[in-house]
Amino acid sequence: MKKIIIIIFLILIIFFFLFFIFKQKINNAQEKEIASIIQMNNAITRLQKIEEEEKNKKEELSLLFVGDVMLSRDIAKKIQINGDQKFPFLSVAEKLSGADIAVGNLEGPISSRGRNQGSKYSFRANPEVIEGIQYAGFDLFSLANNHIFDWGRDALEDTMLILSSSSINFSGVGKNYEDANRVTVIKKKGYLVGFLSFTNLYPKTLFATDKKSGISEYDEKKILERIIAIRKEVDVVVVLLHWGNEYETNSNNTQKKFARELIDVGADMVVGHHPHVAQEVEKYKNGIIAYSLGNFVFDQGFSKETMKGLALDVKCIEAHTCSAKPIEVLINNDFQPTFSGL
């Protein structure tokens, strides 16, 4: 009997030993399987993250800014003599069209209507110039400048109609107050680029009202507030300003102060026009400031400074992350611009 008990006891020990080994193997197998599943899930998560990053990753966006474009007076004569609305842009259209967004300042209305408002220098371009503008590849014009009202409200409204019907954006004017002060948004390559345009060279009587067309309101406090608001809505914020002192190659302290305030509150770029000569370009914090790009298409052949200007070649690699390269613009005796070094 004693032997039987011992044998049973030994059998039980062997059984439990074998059971323990078997269970350990099962546990190890389960642990390996669980580890394998975790690794697989981690790999899938990493792949999904990479795919999401690739999906959200934006292509490089290119913007090209140029100076004052004036298509009347002697420019109109050159167009007529050569019988070609494209004539002013023959040397620059390829570069302008190659940019994702090409921007200029249109100096004066496009219209056959209106009444000369009596300015010493009044500009009005023939509506046929739209052919040359389209050929050049412009995507947006700033119209908030001191010549847009040269031929009155009718000519201003014609300009807005001609540009919009030709799929060319504009900013800085509108059919009423809200329209004139809106942000013009262009969507390209997944980016939303917002443009605001202003000038401090007009009396308040020409600001758009609830019932009248006109230019955007130049109120620095309100402009800064607009920048803060729209930065959350777009990927790139551009402010176009018609300002400064004519024929001065350096910006003044008023320009510097306000341009930097605009960058401080969220503008990515501040681009200026009006002086007819190029002024400095600076990197301020994370923003770009070009105080004046000078002339682009203009008939001011009386000085070397007015027969050249700047273009600003901008590349954006993600939201609110842009860099800029200034390009010299040379204007020949037929008032045709070329990009130097290209």
pLDDT of 29 reads: 61
pLDDT of 275 reads: 98
User: What does each C-alpha distance from 198 to 148, 179, 227, 273 come to in angstroms?
Assistant: 12, 13, 13, 10
Reduced to 3 states (helix: H, G, I; strand: E, B; else coil), residue 341 is coil
Q: Which residues of 72-104 are buried (b: 16+ CB within 10 A; e: fewer)?
A: bbebbebbeeeeebbbbbbebbebbbebbbbbb
Per-domain boundaries in the chain: 1-57, 59-339
Q: How many residues does the chain have?
A: 342
What CATH architecture applies to the domain 59-339? 4-Layer Sandwich (3.60)
User: What does each C-alpha distance from 268 to 67, 84, 168, 283 come to in angstroms?
Assistant: 19, 37, 22, 10
pLDDT of 46 reads: 64
41-93 pLDDT, tens per residue?
665 666 565 555 455 567 999 999 999 999 999 999 999 999 999 999 999 99
User: What does each C-alpha distance from 196 to 56, 104, 155, 268, 314 come to in angstroms?
Assistant: 26, 13, 21, 12, 17
pLDDT of 33 reads: 62
* Residues in the chain, pLDDT under 70: 1-3, 5, 9-10, 12, 15-57, 342
CA distance 267 to 258: 11
Report the sign of the C-alpha dihedral through residues 331, 332, 334, 339, in that order: negative
Tokens linked to 328:
């010299």
pLDDT of 341 reads: 76
pLDDT of 186 reads: 99
pLDDT of 220 reads: 98
Put residue 167 in one of left, alpha, beta given phi > 0 → left and psi -120 to 50 → alpha. left
pLDDT of 10 reads: 67
313-322 pLDDT, tens per residue?
999 999 999 9
CA distance 333 to 298: 10
